[in-house]
Every structure is written in C-alpha cells, then in structure tokens.
C-alpha cells in the first residue's frame, strides 16, 4: 500500500476509534501534503502528484520541526507542550522508513565512498548527494555530515 493510502486509511481508523491525538496529527500530515501539491501546481509541477519519496521528505521535515519545537518548549518549562510534540513525532515517524543505527550509517558511508572513489574532503558533496539518493528518510543528515568529513579526512 502506498504511503498516501496508508495515511488516508489510518485517518479513517483514528476517526472510528475516536483517537483525537492521532487524528489531529494525521490531519496535519494531510494538510502538509495538500500544501506541497498546491505549491507544485503553482510552480508548474507535474499533475501526477507527489511520489512516496516526496512524502517521506515532507514527513522528515515535519519531524525535524517538531523536535525543534519540543526542545524550545522544554527549555521554556512548557513540558505539557513538549510532550504533545513528542507524541506527534511518534505518529509521524511511524510513516517513515526505519532509521539506520550508527553502525549501519557508517557502513552506508563506507559503501558510498568506495563506490564513488571519494578520497578527499572535496568529494563530500557528492557523497552526501548519493547518500540522500540511497537512504532518503533513513538518516539524520545533520549528524551524517561530520561522519563523512571524518571518513574523508583519514
């Protein structure tokens, strides 16, 4: 089942189960998808719609936004709001591919470096682009950057 259909089916299921927290998060996801589709149409994008990769990018962005908000709420002493953000993160992450652990991430970096023949820090952009192509939504690319840099420096 495609990601979009899964989200739609889960929205209906949350309505039936009267799970208001999950339902509100699923509606936020649907709204973000609609916004992206409208923006794509305005930019002259294709009419076929968004791919699962596009949806994964949207969901990853939503997770990152909520992580930043949760951190700000915690620093401001608003723990109930931080908990709500964490609950939304859990729902959104259930639609993302499984995140690679540190060992798997390092192995993926080593494989891409070997495949591209990357040997210096100047190759970092190419390595990062290839990792994004191969492992979209499976890595925190903010944390991967320093790992690539360390790998290419040695």
Contact 128, 113 (CB under 8 A): no
Say which CATH number the domain at 84 has. Answer: 1.10.1510.10
Residues 109 and 63 grouped into a single domain: no
The DSSP symbol for 65 reads H
Asked if 115 contacts 132 with a C-beta cutoff of 8 angstroms, the reply is no
DSSP designation for 72: H
Domain boundary among 93, 110, 134: 93
Band (pLDDT 50/70/90 cuts) for residue 123 is confident
Q: What percent of the chain has pLDDT over 70?
A: 95
Q: In the listed set 72, 93, 114, which residue is the last one of a domain according to the structure?
A: 93
**Alpha carbon distance 10, 13 (integer Å):** 5
Average pLDDT over residues 122-146: 84
Least confident of 45-49, 127-131, 144-148: 45-49
Q: Mark whether 82 and 118 lie in a shared domain.
A: no
Domain limit, last residue, from 73, 93, 113:
93
45 and 21 in a common domain: yes
Does residue 48 have a pLDDT over 80? no
* Full residue range of the structural domain in which residue 148 is found: 102-153
Of residues 43 and 46, more confidence is placed in 43
pLDDT at 46: 56
Q: With bands split at pLDDT 50, 70 and 90, how would you rate the model's confidence at 17? A: very high
pLDDT band (50, 70, 90) for residue 2: confident
CA atoms within 13 Å, Cβ hemisphere of 85: 18
Report how many domains make up the chain.
Answer: 2
Instruction: Say if pTM beats, i.e. exceeds, 0.75.
Output: no
CATH number of the domain where residue 134 is located: 1.10.10.410
Tokens of 42: 């305005």
DSSP state of 32: H
Residue given tokens 């360390």 in the structure block:
150
Question: Are 86 and 25 within one domain?
Answer: yes
């Amino acid at each position: 089942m495609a990601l979009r259909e899964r989200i739609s089916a889960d929205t209906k299921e949350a309505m039936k189960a009267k799970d208001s927290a999950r339902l509100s998060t699923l509606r936020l996801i649907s709204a973000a998808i609609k916004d992206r589709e409208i923006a794509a149409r305005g930019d002259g994008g294709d009419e076929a719609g968004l791919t699962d990769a596009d949806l994964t990018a949207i969901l990853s962005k939503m997770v990152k936004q909520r992580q930043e908000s949760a951190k700000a709420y915690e620093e401001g002493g608003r723990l109930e709001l931080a908990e709500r953000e964490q609950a939304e993160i859990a729902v959104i992450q259930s639609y993302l591919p499984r995140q690679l652990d540190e060992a798997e991430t390092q192995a993926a970096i080593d494989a891409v470096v070997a495949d591209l023949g990357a040997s210096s820090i100047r190759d970092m952009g190419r390595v990062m682009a290839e990792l994004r192509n191969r492992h979209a939504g499976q890595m925190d690319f903010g944390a991967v950057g320093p790992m690539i840099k360390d790998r290419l420096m040695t």
